Chain A
């Protein structure tokens, strides 16, 4: 198994990640790229600040990887990189890559991966506006129900 799970302060090398995951067995590669949006409910965002509990975040991404393989045994490779620190508009905060022999599995698994990552991986973001800042609160109901 050569899946990739990383937390980094540096800009995410999306193409590099894709290349590292490509094997001859893949016929489809689906990449989700989460990027910083310039507004929240109409309020202009200046930057996003991400904070991570790094060792636990890696463990949770690995756990999610195992979950994906149980649900979609045909998945070939899984890659997830989440960035932390201060991010500017349009920069990538998270990139998830799934490869599989055929497209359906890669699409489904990638969609599932980002939804679950947002529920279980211990990372938090703060929106910095021109006139203040606010922590974004996740939906805790899901995590307690499905993880504990």
Chain B
């Protein structure tokens, strides 16, 4: 990857965390990568995540966000199923 590659932290929660068997990882991505492209890479690494493809929600730096959000170095991307608190 080029010198401009970005590093992000990925957090997984709930059923996604269980399916991947990991709750936190640091990831290197190409510049201007979107949350969606991070998700695609993550699915390649943890194929069990694919079943969440249509339902997952994302947050960048603790704010709900869309999958087309462009990531910057140092961002924390959280990926999780629809919330079910209460």
Q: Give the interface of A toward B (CB within 8 A).
A: 34, 50-53, 55-57, 59-60, 82, 93-94, 114, 117-126, 135-140, 143-144, 147-148
CB-CB nearest in chain A for B61? A56
List 5 extra interface pairs beyond A53-B59, A59-B63, CB under 8 A: A52-B85, A93-B85, A124-B83, A124-B84, A137-B82
CB-CB nearest in chain B for A134? B15
Question: Are the CB atoms of A137 and B55 closer together than 8 Å?
Answer: yes
- Total A-B residue contacts, Cβ distance less than 8 Å: 89
Q: Give the interface of B toward A (CB within 8 A).
A: 11, 13-15, 17-18, 55, 57, 59, 62-66, 78, 80-86
Cross-interface CB contact of A51 among B14, B59, B64, B65, cutoff 8 Å: B14
A124-B81 contact, Cβ under 8 Å, with A53-B11, A56-B59, A94-B86: yes
- Can you list 28 A-B contacts with CB-CB less than 8 angstroms, sorted by A residue number? A50-B85, A51-B13, A51-B14, A51-B17, A52-B85, A53-B78, A53-B80, A56-B63, A59-B62, A59-B63, A114-B86, A117-B86, A118-B84, A122-B80, A122-B85, A123-B84, A123-B85, A124-B14, A124-B84, A135-B84, A137-B15, A137-B84, A140-B57, A140-B82, A143-B57, A143-B82, A144-B57, A147-B64
Main secondary structure of the interface of A (DSSP, over half): mixed
List B contacts of A148 (CB < 8 A).
64-66
Question: Are the CB atoms of A124 and B13 closer together than 8 Å?
Answer: yes
CB-CB nearest in chain B for A135? B15
Residue from the set B13, B15, B78, B85 with the largest chain A CB neighbour count within 10 Å: B85
List B contacts of A60 (CB < 8 A).
64
CB-CB nearest in chain A for B83? A138
